[in-house]
Every structure is written in C-alpha cells, then in structure tokens.
Chains A and B, each alone.
Chain A
Amino acid sequence: MTAGPATPPRPATAGPGSTIGWRGGLAQIGRYTFVSLVLGFFALPLLWLATAPFDRTPTITTSLPEFTLDNFRALLDNPYALRSLWNSILLSGGTAVLVVTFAALAAYALSRVRVPGRDALLYGLLLLSSIVTGTATMVPLYELAFRLNLIDSRLGVILILSGGLLPAAIFILKDFMDGTPTSYEESARVFGASPVQIVWQIVLPMVRPGLATVAVWAVANVWGNFLVPFLLLRNPDKAPAAVIMYTLYTEGGQANLALLSTFSLLYSLPVVLMFVFVSSRYGFRFHGGIKR
C-alpha cells in the first residue's frame, strides 16, 4: 500500500479485493482442517502408546486412562520381557558395529579407487540387498545357517542382518566419501601420513555424520526385524523384543493389550532415545575447512 502516487485510484478495486480475501479465508480454513485430520490420524496411535500402558483396562481405543502402574509390574513378571530388550540391544548393536566398520572401509575404497564396473556393482548390490533379508530368501538362508551351525546363534542373526544392510550402507557412505575433497588426504600424504593414519585421523572423522546416520539406520532396522530372529533363534532366552512381542497373549488366546501396550512403550523408548542422542551429539552439522 505504499506505492506512492499510484495509490489514490485504489478504492475502485476494493470490491473484488475483499471477495478474494473472503475466499482466501475459506481456503485457509479448509487447508488447516485437512492438516489437522492428517495429524490426528497419525497422532492417535502414538497417543494410545502413551496412555494405554497406564490404563487399568486398556482397549484398542484411546481414552483417558484410569492411572495405574500394574501393567509394568505384570510385565516384569514375564521372564522374557526385559531379557528380550537386552537381546535386541545385543543384536542391533552388533549389527551396527559390523555394518559401519565394513561399509566405511568399502565405501572409502569404492570412492577413491577406480574399479571398472564400479557403479554397476553398487547398483547390483543395492538391488540384491533388498532381497537378501527379505522373505523370499528365508528358506535358502535357513539352509545356509543350518549347515554352518548358526541356528540358534546370535552371531548368525547378526551376520545375516549385516549382509542385508551392508549394500545400502555402502551406498549411503560412498556418497559421504565422494563429498569430501581428496585434497585433505593428499595434504596428509605429503606430510607423510600412512594410509591407515589417513583413514583413521582424516577420513573417518570427516564422515562422522555419515557414520552416525548409518549406525542409527542399522540399529532401527534390526530393532524392528521380526522374521530373521524368529526363524533362526530357537531358545526364547535369546529372542529379541520384536519376537517376544508376538508371544504376549492372554490365557484365552487373545492379544494381551495391557502387556502389549506396556511392552510397546518400553520397546520404542530405546530407539527414540538413540535418535535424540545421536542428533544432539553429531547434529548432522559440518565445520568446513575447505573454502569453496
């Protein structure tokens, strides 16, 4: 409205202007209603997760809880509940360590060395990896684990899950490696650093956000994986939380909602805490030392 001398003839446009404003307001109301609906759709299950564990008689609907901690006490009485969370931590932690270590080494090599057919190899691996831990290969994988005496062994689960996650992890990390200029490494080389020193002191610290991303992603993947540990681990003492969740029934064969909701809350907390920790610690930020 501060267009200077052109403002006086404006009153003529006041009519259509207010119509537009009225319609705009309606559109705004519609938009926010839609956003609220979508938000509600996704928020309700989370709300259930927050309230049901503290409810005396949880149902599958969300309601104001009749506050109690009995459900937690009941869960602690279950011999497998807490141990299964520890098993989940072992499996996901072990897998994350393996995946990050091998993916970092492979990604660095693939990023810096020119190998003929490198891109085809990467895309091929990526394509196949979605099959490896998938349902389709469960039979041959079981057979393989059986012959290698890896049935009912946590190591077997870790190895199979790592194999499935590695190609995508290499793919993600190679992108991070490609993004760091080689002049850092060349600079270190001129100062006499050995290849091991270059990787350990220069390359890995610089792709730390990438390593954190891959580690979090691997943990979250293993944490939620049901099929592989369900098939390969016989002893319920070794079963992770995702498998134990499946066993929480009442005597009548119905899903035990009281235990299930409480266990779900405990089951999701570590992953949430990990995300918060990693993003505050590594924050996916990067101090630049290269002037662009």
Chain B
Amino acid sequence: MAAITLHRLGKVYPGGVRALDALDLAIADGEFFALLGPSGCGKTTLLRTIAGLEVATEGTVRIGDRDVTDLQPGRRDVAMVFQDYALFPHMTVEENIGYPLRIKKVPRAARHDKATETAAELGLTGLLDRRPGQLSGGQQQRVALARAMACHPQVFLLDEPLSNLDARLRLEARTFLKRLQRELGVTCVFVTHDQAEALALADRIAVLESGRIRQVGTPVEVFRQPANTFVAGFIGSTPMNLLDAEVAGDAVLVAGARLPLPAPVRALVADGDRVVYGVRPEYLDLHPAPVPGALAGRVVVVENLGSSSLVSLDLPGPDGAAGAGLQVVVPEGREPAIGSTGWAVPRDGRSLVYRNGELLHATEPAGATTDPAHAVGPAADSSVTDSPVTDSPVTDSPVTDSSVTGSSVTDSPVGGSVPAGGAVAGSAAGSGAAGGPA
C-alpha cells in the first residue's frame, strides 16, 4: 500500500509530441483514483509512465517513499491490468494467476495454493483448468484481476477496465471492482474516457486535456463545480449548457433573458463583462407558461431517457435569428409538445459563471471553511496533507485541505490565488456533502 506522487512529470515522444506536460499529482494511499479525459489526452501515457512501461523525459514518479522514476516496471511493485486483459493464451487460468509468482521463483506447490485461494476470492473456482479463450469477457477480467492480486502489489493500475465488457456486464463489473478495491484497500489508479465510469468508481478524479490536468477533485466536486468550461462540457451524461452572457448589475443577460447572478460571484465581475453562464440540464425546471427569471425557447427535440426526458430548446438569438440551443431534463409525464414554447428556470445556486474559460470562485473571508470537500471523504484530505511535494500548485495553497480538490490546477491566476474553492453555490455545496462517497 502506498501513495503515488508525481512531480513535474513530462513525457515527450521522439517525434516531438508532448504527451504529458509538467504534471503534478498526489494520489493518496488506498485511494481509488480515476484519470479521465478524451482520447489522446495522455491519460494512458500517464498510467504507463507510472507503471514504468514509458520512461518519463522529465520530472519524477514516487511510489510510497521510493523514487521509481528510473526503475524497471518489474521493480516498482505495481500490477497492471491491461485493456485487453493480456491473459497468456497458452496457459491455463491457474498458470496465468500464478505467473507473477513463477517470475518470483515461488515453488510450484505454493503457487498452486495461492492461485486457488485468489481464484476463490474472485469466484473463479472451477475455471482453473480452462484456457483464457474458453472464458467469457467478465471471467477474463476477473482472471486478470486475480493475476494482479496474486503478488500483492502496492499499487493497482487499470487501463480502461470496463471498456471490453458489454453494457449489462459493465454495471456488474463496476460494482464488483469498487467493492474489491474497498476490501483490498490498495491504491488503485484507473484510466477511462467514460465520465460516468469515473464518477461512479473513483474517490477522486483527475480530468486531463492534451497532457495537462484540468481539474482534480472528488466526483461531487467535478460534477458540481467544474473548474473550467472543458471539464464542464466533459463531465455529465448530458453536457452542461454553456451560454454566452453579459453581466448587468446583479444579473446576467443570457439569450434575451435576465437571470440573477449567483450571489458569491457578484464581487468578482463588473458591469458589461462577457462571461459564460453554465447550468446543467438536470438543474433546470421547465415551465409551460412564462415565469420571471427564465430562459424562453422553442421545443425542437424530445429524447426519452427512461425515467426522464431530455428536451432541446432553441433560444432566440440577438437579432431574432435562431440562437444557441439549451437542453433541459424533465421528469417523466412532463414532456412538452414539440413546437411549443418552454420557460426554463435555473435552480437556485446551481448555475456557474465562467470567465475566459475558468470558473469564477467566490472569495470568502479567511477561516470560512464550510466547504464540502471536508466531508466528502477521508481520501480527499489525506492526499493533500500527506503529500511530500511542496512546490506544486496543489499544495502551496494557503488553505491546504479545501482549495485543492475543487480548484483548477493548471490555472494559477484564478484557481491558485483564490483560496476557498467550491463556494460558488453555498446551499448546493452544503447539500453536496451528503452525496459524497463517504
């Protein structure tokens, strides 16, 4: 069991492609950590660099109290489960699970016992004599996990652990994986491009874009308080509505409507500022009749999501032409007719304001640490205070245990200088603590 600390980690491929760009990241002991991002963002390269399959061109990787930057993968005491599981096709399940022990020159009998025991833990008893080709996708994954567990590594690395399973099996495997990680209590880093997977599994998530970390936080934080418009657009099964807006006093003008400016950011903006107004489709209420403080638009598409429906509205543009689109989630039975006009009201405290792509945080008086990050989970706190890296933007913030998790890491002017993250929507944040994975 060990923490992982990355310090200014960089990877430049021989062709000059920069896959990782001065990454700072602290993953706590026993944490289930997700590396999330679109394809080509460097998340797999980062995982492979931690494993030692790629050699970092700058910076350091520490696992526990060892600097492993220049160590061979086999000497880092990590186990990796590959996306395709990489079970050796010419070996039986038992030989596969026992392979790491065979490398460590464990005698055959002890290997057999260990493989049988590990297989039993993962419900693979009775499959020990089969070959990987004779197993289902879910069983193959469990064999790969058993093989990784057999040598008791300090760190588990999983590359897209669920992407090779079909939809139903994926949900099952997700629950299984989370439970297994809890029981083993081992530090576990996984890579995914599926934000729902990251939100469901991880204690904390790092969102990456082109080799940089755009935000690190608990699922609640990255979902409620995306630090920038990239994260806002990436997280959520339906992307956040991001609308161009202009500040006018204590309100913002969005698509011809006048919406109240969230109270905590009023001090940060001036009249006439161009900002982006963000609100999730789930946090909008659709009314069939005009109401004050609502975005009015014509209903163009209604998509059934099962227990709810996703309604797309066309908002009027500045000169009467068709403007931006807006998406609203409405509960079942409340679907509007196509072509009718709907009025969408943002719920109190759930809307966010971005300027230059970065979230505007409220500046709160020092000591006002009524921040949700505290209550979210033990991992969030320990990861920061345990971190031996002192000069990273993550740890040099004055309010060490709360500003980190919710704030943008890459952007020092906004994220770094404003100590208390996650206080834009006070009431929402307060209730958010209850929803944490604690």
Contact = CB atoms under 8 A, between A and B. Distances in A.
B103 A287 contact: no
Contacts of A290: 84-87, 89
Interface string A67-93: 000000000000000000000000000
Interface string A159-201: 0000000000000000000000101101111111100010001
Contacts of B82: 183, 186-187
A190 B73 contact: yes
Contacts of B134: 287
Given A193-B74, A289-B140, A188 B53 contact: no
A118 B304 CA distance: 55
A202 B72 CA distance: 19
B80 interface: yes
B86 A192 contact: no
A164 B145 CA distance: 46
Given A289-B132, A289-B133, A181 B74 contact: no
Given A183-B86, A289-B88, A289-B89, A191 B53 contact: no
A205 interface: yes
B79 A190 contact: yes
B91 to A, nearest CB: 8
A208 interface: yes
Interface of A: 181, 183-184, 186-193, 197, 201-202, 205-206, 208, 286-292
A288 B89 contact: yes
A189 B74 contact: yes
Question: Which of A181, A191, A192 has the most chain B CB within a 10 Å cutoff?
Answer: A191
A289 B164 CA distance: 13
A58 to B, nearest CB: 49
Contacts of A197: 103
B90 A208 contact: yes
Contacts of B90: 205-206, 208, 287
A205 B52 CA distance: 25
A181 B131 CA distance: 18
A191 B86 contact: no
B99 A191 contact: yes
B140 A291 contact: yes
B131 A190 contact: no
Given A190-B78, A205-B88, 5 more contacts: A186-B53, A191-B103, A201-B102, A289-B132, A292-B84
Interface string B126-158: 000001111001001000000000010000000
Contact of A191 (B89, B100, B132): B100
B80 to A, nearest CB: 5
26 contacts: A183-B84, A186-B82, A188-B88, A188-B103, A189-B74, A190-B51, A190-B53, A190-B74, A190-B78, A191-B99, A193-B74, A205-B88, A205-B90, A206-B88, A206-B90, A208-B90, A287-B89, A287-B134, A288-B132, A288-B133, A289-B133, A290-B89, A291-B84, A291-B137, A291-B140, A292-B84
B239 to A, nearest CB: 30
Contacts of B168: none
B89 A206 contact: yes
Given A188-B99, A206-B90, A291 B85 contact: yes
A186 B84 CA distance: 12
B88 A184 contact: yes
Contact of B131 (A184, A193, A205, A289): A289
Contacts of B53: 186, 189-190
Contacts of A205: 88, 90
Interface of B: 51-53, 72-75, 78-80, 82-90, 96, 99-100, 102-104, 131-134, 137, 140, 151, 164
A291 to B, nearest CB: 5
Given A197-B103, A208-B90, A289 B51 contact: no
A208 B164 CA distance: 27
A189 B100 CA distance: 10
Contact of B75 (A184, A192, A202): A192
Contacts of A202: 88
Contact of A184 (B74, B79, B83, B86): B86
Given A184-B86, A184-B88, A206-B90, A192 B100 contact: yes
Contacts of A292: 84
Given A197-B103, A291-B140, A191 B84 contact: no
Nearest to B104: A192
A188 B84 CA distance: 14
Interface centre among A184, A197, A288, A289 (most CB of B within 10 A): A289
B80 A190 contact: yes
Given A287-B89, A287-B133, A289-B131, A191 B74 contact: yes
A287 B132 contact: yes
A201 B88 CA distance: 10
B84 A286 contact: no
A287 B135 CA distance: 11
A202 B84 CA distance: 16
Given A192-B74, A289-B132, A289-B140, A181 B104 contact: no
A184 to B, nearest CB: 5
A197 B105 CA distance: 12
Going nearest first, the 9 A-B pairs with the smallest beta carbon separation are: A192-B74, A289-B132, A289-B89, A287-B133, A289-B87, A187-B86, A183-B86, A191-B100, A205-B90
